[in-house]
Amino acid sequence: MKVTQAEIVISAVKPEQYPSGLLPEFALAGRSNVGKSSFINKMINRKNLARTSSKPGKTQTLNFYLINEMLHFVDVPGYGFAKVPKSERDAWGRMMQTYLTSREQLRAVLMIVDLRHPPSKDDVTMYDYLKHYDLPVIVIATKADKIPKGKWQKHKKVVRETLDMVQEDEVILFSSETGHGKDEVWGILQKRMK
């Protein structure tokens, strides 16, 4: 898909603030610093619309991006549960649970992981959490440019096995540096928008 228009429509904390209407929606999740903002920016051809993950203590919001007036991306605050105080973790959990269980037009969650390393404990927890809600997950294994092509399939297999992924969920190799995987991801999203 050729993205000609992308803008942040709202940073929401509660359902009353979510955009109205029934445009197809895709949420983006990933632990802090994994490359989620870079992924969003690459997908929408912008250098800097999505900003790097929020600093601790900053209000955690769901950032809704309207793309080509056709769909929403929802940038979910990065997770990294170990370092976050319990109160903040709980607030994050409540916000996520509310969003994930109430959003009818949510078509899939794109979960960003780092292709270089096996998914972390937090990644495994997140995948299990999403499957607990029966959500389709598309795993984006980013930073592929940092690994020789000859090792891609091996690393992809480690991602799939470590997350213990269900067969219907896909792993897509991606690079925000080179744009590898971008057309493939748009192809998958477009199919799910119908």
Q: Smallest distance from the beta carbon of 179 to ligand GDP, in angstroms? A: 9
Q: How far is CA 98 from CA 16, 128, 142, in A?
A: 11, 17, 28
* In contact, 67 and 3? CB cutoff 8 Å: yes
Q: Per rule CB under 6 A, is residue 60 in the interface with ligand GDP?
A: no
170 lies in the binding site for ligand GDP (CB under 6 A): no
Which tokens in the block code for residue 15? 């359902």
Binding status of residue 54 toward ligand GDP by CB under 6 A: no
Helices (H), 51-120: 86-102
Q: Which position among 6, 18, 27, 35 is part of the footprint of ligand GDP (CB under 6 A)?
A: 35
**Parallel/antiparallel/unpaired status of strands 62-67 and 71-75:** antiparallel
CB of 145 to ligand GDP, least distance (A): 5
Both tokens of 71, joined, read 């769909």
Q: How far is CA 190 from the centre of its chain?
A: 16
- By beta-carbon proximity to ligand GDP, the closer residue of 80 and 118 is 80
By CB under 6 A, is residue 101 in contact with ligand GDP?
no
155 near ligand GDP, judged by CB under 6 A = no
In the complex, minimum distance from the CB of residue 49 to ligand GDP, in angstroms, rounded to a whole number: 12
d(CA 144, CA 37): 16
Distance separating alpha carbons of residues 51 and 72, to the nearest angstrom: 17
Q: Does 63 bind ligand GDP (CB under 6 A)?
A: no
Is position 102 an interface residue for ligand GDP (rule: CB under 6 A)? Answer: no
Positions that interact with ligand GDP (CB under 6 A): 30, 32-38, 52-53, 78, 142-143, 145-146, 175-177
